[in-house]
Amino acid sequence: MTGPVPSGIDEIGLVPGSHVCAFYRGDADRDRLLTGYLSAGLTAGDKCICIVDSERTAKRLEQLSGTCREPGSLGRQLDIHLPESTYLVGGEFTTSDMLTFWTENMTKAEIEGYSFCRLAGEMTWALRDMPGVEHLIGYESELNRVTPSYPVVVLCLYDLDRFSGEIVVNVVKTHPQVLVQGILVENPYYIEPDNFLKSASA
């Protein structure tokens, strides 16, 4: 698969390998983005892996399982996780553990017979007072080394009402594409991982 796939959001197409930052405001806007994105993937027969920040959101999204193209035929098509078992497993965040989580799950999906994956992460877990959350931006940059090697699209969701301007600026620098108010922008402020991480460490 090389051409754009339907994102399920405002008729936007995403090219395989895309790593998109989606800015939103409030729970309703977040749910609209996630529901559209995941529903399009389930209809297409994609493996969908989503991490959300609350049990309530997880239960709401689990209801989408009824839209799976062939429920149960290839293993579980929709996986919903919470930060405690992913980003913050063991009570802290580490970039290497999270990159391993994604690569292992994408490899598992391929073994199960899926030809394409959709990943989504609600990033408000990073606002918690937990060890390692300060490495959020470095993680987002490193993820750009992973996504081009897989048949995947990745959506990272950031609530503009909750994240500081400083974090938002750095989030923009680490995503090749930005989705805001229904418009997908090829990001002119994106910085490749080698250059971004070098400047960050300096």
* Beta strands 152-159 and 78-81, pairing class: unpaired
State residue 143's pLDDT score. Answer: 97
State residue 75's pLDDT score. Answer: 54
pLDDT single digits (tens) 113-125:
999 999 999 999 9
State residue 2's pLDDT score. Answer: 67
Question: Would the CA dihedral through 44, 47, 51, 57 be positive or negative?
Answer: positive
State residue 64's pLDDT score. Answer: 80
**Percentage of the chain exceeding pLDDT 90:** 83
Mean pLDDT of 25-48: 95
Q: Which of 180, 186, 183, 171 is nearest to 25 (CA)?
A: 180
**Percentage of the chain exceeding pLDDT 70:** 93
pTM for the predicted model, two decimal places: 0.91
202 confidence band (pLDDT: 50, 70, 90): low
pLDDT single digits (tens) 38-97:
999 999 999 999 999 989 898 888 888 655 544 444 458 999 999 999 999 999 999 999
Query: CA separation (Å) from 189 to 33, 126, 153?
Result: 23, 22, 20
Q: What is the dihedral of CA 90, 94, 100, 105, to 10 degrees?
A: 60
CB 114 within 8 A of CB 151: no
Q: Which of 21-25, 43-47, 75-79, 154-158 has the lowest mean pLDDT?
A: 75-79
The pair of three-digit structure tokens given for residue 134, joined into one six-digit string = 């300060």
> Residue 85: how many CB atoms within 10 A of its CB?
11
Share the mean pLDDT of the chain.
92
